[in-house]
Structure 1
Amino acid sequence: MCEVTEAANVRAIAAKKKLSSQFFKKGISIALFSAVMYGFYSAFLTLGMSKGIWSDWYGANTAGLSAFVITYLLGALGSAVNDSCSAVWALLYASIKGKIGDFFRCLNTTPGRVMILAALIGGPISSTAYVVGLQMAGSIVIPITALCPAIGAILGRILFKQELNKRMMLGIAICVIASFMIGSTSIGGSAPKGAFLGVCIAFIAALGWGFEGCVAGYGTSMIDCEIGITIRQVTSGISNLIILLPIFAAMAGNIKLSANLAGQAFSSGSAMIWFALSGLCAFASYMCWYRGNSMCGAALGMACNGTYSFWGPFCCWIVLGVFGGMEGWGLPPIAWIAAILMIFGILVISMNPMDLFRKKEVK
């Protein structure tokens, strides 16, 4: 009888280990998929900003818009349209899952307010800086924004006294070296006009997203991550439309310009098709990132999501360069090497790479 019980226990433990291994591997796959979705979000967003009314705004005659409006106000508008579409997808998903009531209830709670704060940082500031940088320098800015885990580790140490050991400092150093390699391609005669400024603006996005990660980590530890993401996307879309756009319009000398341009953007059907896709991909990316983190651990999930430093330029090259026939979306070899180096640096920050082999041996 004891032998039968012992054999049953061994089989149960083996089955549990197998199930845990499958769950862990599935989490890695989902986290990696979030990076791919982020790449397609970047590509479809850029494609949308080249269609319909956007082609007039960015065209040869610039539709009578000033350089400031074209560079910054339109960048903020592109971010606002994308985040608004993403918010619609998030609300639809919450409704289908029966969580729309929880969404409204969480808005006036402490975790909900924390997520709103995170969205205000990552939406109007970082998302707009990302779009502006993408328009000015192309997909080369994507690996630069992937510095956010490194920045988040530093800010976590400063703000929350979180651990910052030698391994993490090594990973940060690797990321910084990779960013300098990428930045070097924006300097020189072969670099596109405005590429260096675009890279510098991309650093603002990385800084904001690093700070957002610190803040949002606290919020999502206390509420359903699906609700947290919905709060984030809705807040980002609304704040972009009613806060940032009017500010840029006022700086351009005509506060009514924001409503005028927004109306034209949302009514441009040929462009909104691609914005709807970019919003869906952005929502899917966030959803898969949080879900992957919960399955394989936040550290490894962050490293897997950081592979968008490769997938971002790759998806832009496929969608915009190959299928869209748009020039300037290829990257020099040094940028591809630096993007892969950035991925390794993020992995070193997030965890000891040797743990991957140790876990494999245990399982």
Structure 2
Amino acid sequence: MAAGSQKVSLQANIAYKKYRSNFLKKGIAIALFSGLTYGMYTALITMAMTKGVWADWYGDNKAKLSAFVIAYVIAALGNAINDTCSAVWAILYSIVKGKFGDFVRCVKSTPGRMILLAALLGGPIAGTAYVISLQMAGSIVVPISALCPAIAAILSRILFKQELNKRMMVGIAICVFASFLIGSTSISGSSASANTVVGIIIAVIAALGWGLEGCLAGYGSAMVDPQIGICIRQVTSGIANLFILVPFFSLLAGDIGLSVNLLTQAVTSGAAMPWFILSGLFTVITFTAWYAGNSMCGAGLGTACNGTYAFFGPLFCLLLLGIYGGMPGWSLPSVAWVGAVIMTFGIFVISMNPLDLLRKNKEKEEEVETYDAA
């Protein structure tokens, strides 16, 4: 009787561990999916900003606009339209799922306000910096911006006294090395320009903003449904971009009314808006998957999996803009691809010890052997 009870207990223990293992694997799969969809969002928003009136602004008619307007106002406007479209998608989804009331209530809560603050850092600041850097330097900046997990690890140590062990420091060093490797392909090349260098620097600002967002959102998202958290994030980002950042840049350009004029032209551009609607959809998908993946496999591993957009971003830009769109300048040298893979590995090292995967497989084999013996 005792032996039978022991076997039942062993079966329950193995079943529980199997459930946890499957739950972790599902979380990793969702987080990896977020990295893939972020790469697709990158390609879609870049494609949107080559169509319709955007082609005029960045093309032969760009002399009608100042260099500052082209580099900053228009880039901020592109990010604003994308985030506004994503906010609409997020609200519609919350209504369909019957969670819109939860969204309204969560905005007033402490976790909701933390996500709101994180959204201001990740949307208007990091998101706009990312779009600006893409327009200035191309897909070479995607792996550079993926330094955000390394930055988040350092900031978490400084702000919240979280662990920063030797393994994580090695991972950070790998990421920094990879970023220099990638950046060197543009800076040292004969085609290097001032815009390329500035674009890479701005990409670092994007990584810093997303690193800060990760620190703050990690607290808020632990107590809020990922779908509601993303709704808060995208609505906040869309409003801040559209009604604060774009008018602010227009004011710096010397004409605050320019924001309304450019926005009107942009939203009535039939060739570009379908691409923005698509990029907004993928923005909601990627951030929802990132938040959900983090809640299932942990923020560290989830952020690492999401960081694979360092590879997927340039890949989808090459496929959509370079091959499908026939646009020159979207192919990356082999060194940059190697750097993207190295950075992806560095991100994993920051989040977990790669040897742990081998240990888990060994433990699973031992559990099966124990069960068979019983």
Alignment correspondent of 1:290: 291
Q: What secondary structure, in the 3-state scheme, does the structure 2 residue paired with 1:61 have?
A: helix
Alignment correspondent of 2:104: 104
Q: CA deviation at 1:175?
A: 0.8
1:219 and 2:225 matched? no
Question: Partners in 2 of 1:77 and 1:246 — Cα distance?
Answer: 9
1:341 and 2:337 matched? no
Q: CA deviation at 1:223?
A: 2.0
Q: CA deviation at 1:10?
A: 3.4
Q: CA deviation at 1:222?
A: 2.4
Question: Partners in 1 of 2:78 and 2:113 — Cα distance?
Answer: 25
What pairs up with 1:156-235 in 2 under 5 angstroms?
A: 156-187=156-187, 188-191=189-192, 194-235=195-236
Deviations 1:126-177 (A, max 9, x none): 1110000001111110000000111111111111111211111111111111
Alignment correspondent of 1:25: 25
1:279 and 2:280 matched? yes
**Amino acid across the alignment from 1:185:** T
**Amino acid across the alignment from 2:127:** S
**Amino acid across the alignment from 1:99:** K
Question: Partners in 1 of 2:224 and 2:57 — Cα distance?
Answer: 42
Q: Would the aligned equivalents of 2:167 and 2:350 in 1 still touch at CA under 8 Å?
A: yes
Shift in CA distance, 17/158, structure 1 to aligned 2, threshold 3 Å: closer
Alignment correspondent of 2:45: 45
Q: What secondary structure, in the 3-state scheme, does the structure 2 residue paired with 1:329 have?
A: coil
Q: CA deviation at 1:209?
A: 0.7
Alignment correspondent of 1:154: 154
Deviations 1:307-354 (A, max 9, x none): 110111111111111111111111111111111111111111111111
Alignment correspondent of 1:122: 122
> How many equivalent pairs are there?
363
Question: Partners in 2 of 1:8 and 1:116 — Cα distance?
Answer: 48
Q: Would the aligned equivalents of 2:222 and 2:295 in 1 still touch at CA under 8 Å?
A: no
Q: CA deviation at 1:224?
A: 2.0
Question: Partners in 1 of 2:177 and 2:63 — Cα distance?
Answer: 41
Question: Partners in 1 of 2:43 and 2:128 — Cα distance?
Answer: 15
Gaps of 5+ in 1: none
Question: Partners in 1 of 2:257 and 2:325 — Cα distance?
Answer: 34
Q: Would the aligned equivalents of 2:322 and 2:331 in 1 still touch at CA under 8 Å?
A: yes
Question: Partners in 1 of 2:145 and 2:92 — Cα distance?
Answer: 29
Moved more, 172-181 or 58-67: 58-67
Q: CA deviation at 1:297?
A: 2.1
1:252 and 2:245 matched? no
Cα RMSD for the two superposed structures = 1.4
Question: Partners in 2 of 1:224 and 1:272 — Cα distance?
Answer: 30
* TM-score normalised by length of structure 2: 0.94
Q: CA deviation at 1:4?
A: 4.1
Alignment correspondent of 1:34: 34
Q: Would the aligned equivalents of 1:91 and 1:230 in 2 still touch at CA under 8 Å?
A: yes
What pairs up with 1:320-335 in 2 under 5 angstroms?
A: 320-335=321-336
1:352 and 2:345 matched? no
Question: Partners in 1 of 2:67 and 2:303 — Cα distance?
Answer: 37
Q: CA deviation at 1:273?
A: 0.6
What pairs up with 1:73-88 in 2 under 5 angstroms?
A: 73-88=73-88
Q: CA deviation at 1:68?
A: 0.7
Question: Partners in 1 of 2:11 and 2:113 — Cα distance?
Answer: 47
Q: CA deviation at 1:50?
A: 0.5
Q: What secondary structure, in the 3-state scheme, does the structure 1 residue paired with 2:35 have?
A: helix
1:314 and 2:297 matched? no
Alignment correspondent of 2:371: none
Moved more, 113-122 or 29-38: 113-122
**Amino acid across the alignment from 2:294:** N
Q: CA deviation at 1:2?
A: 4.1
Q: Would the aligned equivalents of 1:56 and 1:63 in 2 still touch at CA under 8 Å?
A: no
Deviations 1:4-54 (A, max 9, x none): 444433333333333332222221111111000000000000000011111
Q: What secondary structure, in the 3-state scheme, does the structure 1 residue paired with 2:200 have?
A: helix
Q: CA deviation at 1:295?
A: 1.9
Q: What secondary structure, in the 3-state scheme, does the structure 1 residue paired with 2:26 have?
A: helix
Alignment correspondent of 2:266: 265
Q: CA deviation at 1:361?
A: 2.2
Gaps of 5+ in 2: 365-374
Q: Would the aligned equivalents of 1:186 and 1:199 in 2 still touch at CA under 8 Å?
A: no
Q: CA deviation at 1:303?
A: 1.2
Alignment correspondent of 1:61: 61
Q: CA deviation at 1:3?
A: 4.3
**Amino acid across the alignment from 1:98:** G
Q: What secondary structure, in the 3-state scheme, does the structure 1 residue paired with 2:186 have?
A: coil
**Amino acid across the alignment from 1:152:** A
Q: CA deviation at 1:106?
A: 1.4
* TM-score normalised by length of structure 1: 0.96
